[in-house]
């Protein structure tokens, strides 16, 4: 069983997936920083200096100045601003991955259309014969036309 697991874990696809997950995690951190530090501040400014990460619903009934204060006090909150940041983060990551895959697909060399064979094998003597031939030049057998 250990041998089978080793074969599975060291198979090319599993290693590629592991590398993809690691690189994806690092890429996710970069995108999160892009969203939180570069994209969200101007959007918040355009919307009247709103900081999405500080938007929340206070369920405790006690007033708090901001989310951090409410969390420090242990108040029950619904942090919809953080959720909005996460959704925007996801949409940006998905869009960037879409653009990346689109470029990779453009750069990938498309295989040429398969070329139709110019010869076929005679079913009687196994000699290579032109696909246009109606008789085998070697054994003179009559050949059925290709469909």
What's the CA gap between 79 and 69, in Å, rounded?
13
- CATH code of 51's domain: 1.10.1200.120
Please name every residue paired with 119 in a beta bridge, in sequence order, or none if there are none. Answer: 130
What's the CA gap between 137 and 140, in Å, rounded?
5
Taking only the tens place, the pLDDT of each residue in 92-134 is 778 877 887 888 888 887 777 788 888 999 999 999 999 888 8
Residues 28 and 58 in one domain: yes
What's the CA gap between 30 and 95, in Å, rounded?
14
What's the domain count of the chain?
2
CB atoms under 10 Å from CB of 107, counted, come to 7
**Nearest C-alpha neighbor of 70 from the set 83, 53, 81, 58:** 58
- Tell me which residue range forms the domain holding 143: 116-147
Residues 136 and 76 in one domain: no
Residues 96 and 146 in one domain: no
Taking only the tens place, the pLDDT of each residue in 27-50 is 878 877 877 788 777 877 887 776
């Amino acid at each position: 069983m250990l041998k089978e697991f080793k074969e599975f874990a060291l198979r090319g696809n599993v290693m590629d997936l592991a590398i993809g997950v690691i690189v994806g995690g690092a890429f996710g951190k970069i995108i999160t920083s892009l969203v939180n530090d570069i994209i969200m501040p101007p959007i918040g400014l355009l919307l009247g200096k709103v900081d999405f990460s500080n938007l929340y619903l206070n369920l405790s009934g006690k007033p708090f100045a901001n989310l951090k204060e409410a969390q420090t006090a242990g108040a029950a909150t619904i942090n919809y601003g953080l959720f909005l940041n996460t959704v925007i983060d996801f949409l940006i990551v998905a869009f960037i991955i879409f653009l990346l895959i689109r470029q990779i697909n453009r750069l990938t060399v498309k295989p040429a259309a398969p070329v139709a064979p110019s010869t076929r094998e005679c079913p009687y003597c196994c000699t290579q014969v032109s696909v246009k031939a109606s008789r085998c030049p070697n054994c003179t057998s009559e050949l059925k036309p290709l469909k």
